[in-house]
A and B are shown apart, each in its own frame.
Chain A
């Protein structure tokens, strides 16, 4: 078999898998509400009253039996949160819709964290079964954590990785079991006062993932976390910290969903990554929030000498997403990539992008941002590329591609370049296109109905993103896009 035939075979296999999923989908005839929008009856061990104050912060910390230093960090962060103005970067008007007093900041589900799937409380188990989590773990993951509301309810990691010294657990456990590592890195990449939402997260954080990969260890298949909001007016504030020591590599994937409610929920995570010399971290997010979730996430990575950090970020759903994964290239020849797609439907604003700081010579970076706006959806690219003084010989490229479906869809681009050196290669490209009448007619003239033709064009548009995903995620994402595209005539 020639190379081309193999390629064709592989392409066909993917096409097949997609066709099967698509058939399942048609049979199901579901939409977000049917697939993810269900909610379980609320039955909690502890649900903090709505609103945010020092008593709530104290209660969270006490319930978790945290050391004094963490409790002090939380209280100080609450003061910082109150003192900080709303961010000026992003969709600042959209943020005014958040009512911070109408949110539950902490909800602990019944039951303790389980490492055996059978020990997870039935209701929660059913939820994750329905979302396909245990199946995904069996098939292709090296480890899984599942977070329900504020707490991680299930956790497992492949034994051989544990033997190699890989740590993969939720943040609360990490604080108990590896306080020295957590204390060393917590808030060092994203300080409390970085922005109002990082301060908020620091005050009330709960759950999230902690990963430490020792020197030279390559984790060959992905580690995954799944975040699920169930309660109405819930705030989920997970805190994730990943440290890849020298010459190590790791791929972490997270997925997020929430049910559909009439009033808003808030998801405000902080994610800190450290890639030591020659380490490689890839962080993949596929989030599909219901359209009443404010999704305001601060993500930042430090990349040391010859390290590589990649953010692969897929944003579907939510009412307003503001997310700009950042990489600070601290060591020579470090490389950073942000590859993102955003899909904005009616009433949604996806304000996403990237921030790249070249703080050392000969560092390289690439930002590829693709957005789809449908109906009255709005998607924005907001990006910052900064080249510090002394960072000679850097290369950076930014590529923004927007696809509009319908007459009222909106896309805008806010690129900022701040370059302090002259021997730097900077490329920027921005394109906006409509799902064209000629493309549609061409596909229709080959027998594809307009919905299928439109879907094919959209899937083609996001293909450069999808091909970076593991197969199962690629299929899932195509399926989600298919759901978003249903009945999306002009």
Chain B
């Protein structure tokens, strides 16, 4: 792969990381979850990250966004700029986005108020009400979310599918440069999966990129990633294309673990 040799601040690269290690507090000591990840995503590329349950995929995604529970070593670039010392909101304002596996409810805060504040933060300017409302209505229609959700409290009492649709709606509105999509397909029925996938494709363009974390082939059939990574035991053990997805679907993860010489106890 020539990408590994591409400078992380090369103009064609939207997102890159080098030597990322993630540690989490475990009593008085630290436990290492991610053991050194290098990733280079060029503009216009869609990457998938697959791996068994508990391999640390979600931890990696949250850590790249700057979750305060993790200590992170390594370098992270967004649009050629180092962002690894920035707080999450500063990363977000520069165009990093995380679609949560379990979006958090904030009772009393309406979806409209939340989205307007987020948009203003991302764009660095207040959005006039009328323009905002038009944009919002269009996005709700695109994502097939009932407009009554605009005045509901954020993720409060939403079904799993509604939450995921609202995550992708935010991706559409915020127009991130790089999106981390953490198991956006989990808990979706076929119709919702189609809507969410279409939303992701609509939000993808020649200038941005994304990393889609998933267990399953079905969303990848819709989103069609350019690059597929397999993540095990805190490492990227294999990088390829869609053929890798088919192989995993047929053979599971064990053969890759054996090739990567990961001891049986550490394959999660």
**A-to-B contact residues, CB < 8 Å:** 2, 4-5, 7-9, 11-13, 15-16, 19, 436-439, 441-450, 452-453, 456-457, 459-464
Contact = CB atoms under 8 A, between A and B. Distances in A.
B165 interface: no
Nearest to A465: B108
A19 B69 CA distance: 32
Contacts of A446: 89, 92, 114, 117-118, 121-122, 170, 174
B150 A15 contact: no
B136 interface: yes
Given A447-B92, A456-B114, A11 B108 contact: no
Contact of A11 (B62, B88, B137, B151): B151
A439 B106 contact: yes
A439 B67 CA distance: 11
Nearest to B88: A444
Given A4-B148, A460-B107, A461-B107, A444 B87 contact: yes
Contact of A459 (B88, B92, B109): B109
B110 to A, nearest CB: 5
B106 A8 contact: no
Interface SS, A side? helix
B109 A8 contact: no
Contacts of B129: 9, 12-13, 15-16
B65 interface: yes
B77 interface: no
Contacts of B62: 441
A370 to B, nearest CB: 10
B104 interface: yes
A440 to B, nearest CB: 8
Contact of A448 (B89, B98, B110, B133): B89
Contacts of B82: none
B104 to A, nearest CB: 4
A452 B174 CA distance: 18
Nearest to A2: B147
26 contacts: A4-B146, A4-B148, A4-B150, A5-B133, A5-B137, A5-B147, A7-B151, A8-B112, A11-B151, A438-B104, A444-B66, A444-B87, A444-B88, A444-B92, A445-B100, A446-B92, A446-B114, A446-B121, A447-B93, A447-B121, A448-B118, A449-B89, A456-B109, A456-B117, A463-B107, A463-B109
Contacts of A453: 89
Nearest to B99: A445
A439 B132 CA distance: 24
Nearest to B113: A15
Contacts of B107: 460-461, 463
A11 B93 CA distance: 25
Contact of A452 (B104, B117, B132): B117
Nearest to B136: A8
B226 interface: no
A271 B231 CA distance: 68
Contact of B106 (A5, A13, A15, A456): A456
Nearest 5 Cβ contacts at the A-B interface: A460-B108, A447-B121, A463-B108, A460-B109, A446-B118
A11 B113 contact: yes
B53 to A, nearest CB: 21
B147 A8 contact: yes
A7 B118 CA distance: 20
B241 interface: no
Contacts of A448: 89, 117-118, 121
A62 to B, nearest CB: 52
Nearest to B126: A19
Interface centre among B89, B109, B154 (most CB of A within 10 A): B89
B118 A12 contact: no
A436 B121 CA distance: 21
Contact of A439 (B65, B104, B116): B104
A426 to B, nearest CB: 24
Contacts of B92: 444-447
Given A19-B126, A447-B92, A8 B118 contact: no
A430 to B, nearest CB: 16
B69 A447 contact: no
B133 A457 contact: no
A8 B133 contact: yes
B153 A15 contact: no
Contacts of A459: 108-109
Given A12-B133, A449-B121, 5 more contacts: A7-B148, A19-B126, A446-B89, A448-B89, A460-B153
Contacts of B69: 437
A442 B151 contact: no
A182 to B, nearest CB: 42
Contacts of A449: 87, 89, 121
A362 B244 CA distance: 69
Contact of A442 (B106, B110, B112): B106
Contacts of B151: 4, 7-8, 11
B103 interface: yes
Given A450-B89, A456-B109, A15 B116 contact: yes
Interface in B142-161: 146-148, 150-151, 153-154
Contacts of B97: 445
